[in-house]
């Protein structure tokens, strides 16, 4: 299975979202074996759901708390995401890890909670440039994937996103992607998650995706900047479907 997800981050307003969803409704042509999704800001999730209607594009949140309910002011639970019709949730995006202090320990709880509530967890992993240059890349990725030893088996998507390639316009080379995706596939198998789809993310655009999607063990993309433009998002989906 391939899966292309637009990560809107903290972008777009109601009027943009209306136009984006209308473009999906008229332009998205589902094809077996390829899923498409939008990870929208919390406050727009219900709106996106309603505007997408039954067109087949799935709905993702960009994060969630691991507790089902309680005194956690400002947080959103997996139960609440499920309640409003979410299909999945991004977990451990590098911006959550590096700006908001997301930890692997919390991610164990979040992956479990997502599964308990029937949401597809998309576990994001990736090394910083410093870690790559310092020869620590594989250790970092191994540690991030070790979360899966504690979660046990279950539905999962992994997104490999080198931190230095996110939002920078500096996409990893095909050789770098090939090397890491092969490693991630092996680690997933070692952690009891063989066959998990592995997305690539980091400055993906319609200009580079057709080549990236052909790399072994690349099963789609997690896309920020380019996926703020509906025509580009739809083009990326078509490239995954080709």
From 23-31, 53-61, 176-184, 222-230, span contacting ligand PEP (CB under 6 A): 222-230
Report the C-alpha gap between 57 and 59 in whole angstroms.
7
**Measured from the CB atom, is 10 or 71 closer to ligand PEP?**
10
Annotation says 181 is catalytic? no
Query: Under a CB-based contact definition with an 8 Å cutoff, are residues 78 and 64 in contact?
Result: yes
Distance in angstroms (rounded) separating the CA atoms of residues 29 and 31: 6
3-class secondary structure, 2: strand
Binding of ligand PEP by 203 (CB under 6 A): yes
Q: Residue 6 Cβ, how far from ligand PEP at the closest point, in Å?
A: 9
Q: Which helix (H) or strand (E) holds 131?
A: helix 129-133
Nearer Cβ to ligand PEP (26/156):
156
Sites for ligand PEP among residues 166-185 (CB under 6 A) = 166-167
Instruction: Look up residue 205 and give its two tokens.
Output: 């655009």
Q: Which residue is nearest to ligand PEP (CB)?
A: 224
Nearer to ligand PEP, 86 or 236 (CB): 236
Tokens representing residue 239 in the block = 């490239």
Residue 31 to residues 22, 69, 202, Cα–Cα distance (Å) = 19, 37, 24
Closest approach of ligand PEP to the CB of residue 222, in Å: 5
Question: What tokens does 138 get?
Answer: 């594989």
Catalytic one among 35, 95, 102, 161?
161
Element (H, E) at 179: helix 174-190
Q: Which stretch binds ligand PEP (CB under 6 A): 27-35, 69-77, 129-137, 218-226?
A: 218-226
Q: Which residues bind ligand PEP (CB under 6 A)?
A: 7, 9, 161, 166-167, 201-204, 222-226
Which of the residues are catalytic? 93, 161
């Amino acid at each position: 299975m391939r899966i292309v997800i637009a990560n809107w981050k903290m972008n777009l307003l109601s009027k943009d979202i209306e136009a984006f969803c209308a473009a999906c409704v008229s332009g998205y042509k589902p094809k077996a074996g390829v899923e498409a999704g939008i990870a929208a800001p919390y406050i727009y999730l219900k709106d996106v759901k309603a505007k997408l209607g039954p067109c087949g594009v799935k709905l993702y949140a960009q994060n969630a708390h691991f507790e089902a309910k309680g005194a956690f002011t400002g947080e959103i639970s997996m139960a609440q995401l499920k309640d409003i019709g979410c299909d999945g949730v991004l977990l451990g995006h590098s911006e959550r890890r590096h700006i908001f202090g997301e930890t692997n320990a919390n991610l164990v709880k979040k992956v479990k909670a997502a599964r308990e509530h029937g949401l597809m967890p998309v576990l994001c992993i990736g090394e910083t440039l410093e870690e790559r240059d310092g020869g620590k890349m594989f250790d970092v990725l191994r540690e991030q994937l070790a979360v899966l030893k504690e979660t046990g088996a279950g539905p999962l998507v992994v997104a490999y996103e080198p931190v230095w390639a996110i939002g920078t316009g500096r996409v990893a080379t095909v050789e770098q992607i090939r090397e890491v995706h092969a490693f991630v596939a092996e680690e997933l198998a070692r952690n009891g998650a063989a066959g998990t789809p592995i997305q690539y993310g980091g400055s993906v655009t319609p200009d580079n995706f057709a080549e990236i999607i052909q790399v072994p063990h690349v099963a789609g993309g997690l896309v920020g900047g380019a996926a703020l433009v509906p025509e580009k998002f739809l083009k990326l989906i078509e490239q995954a479907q080709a």
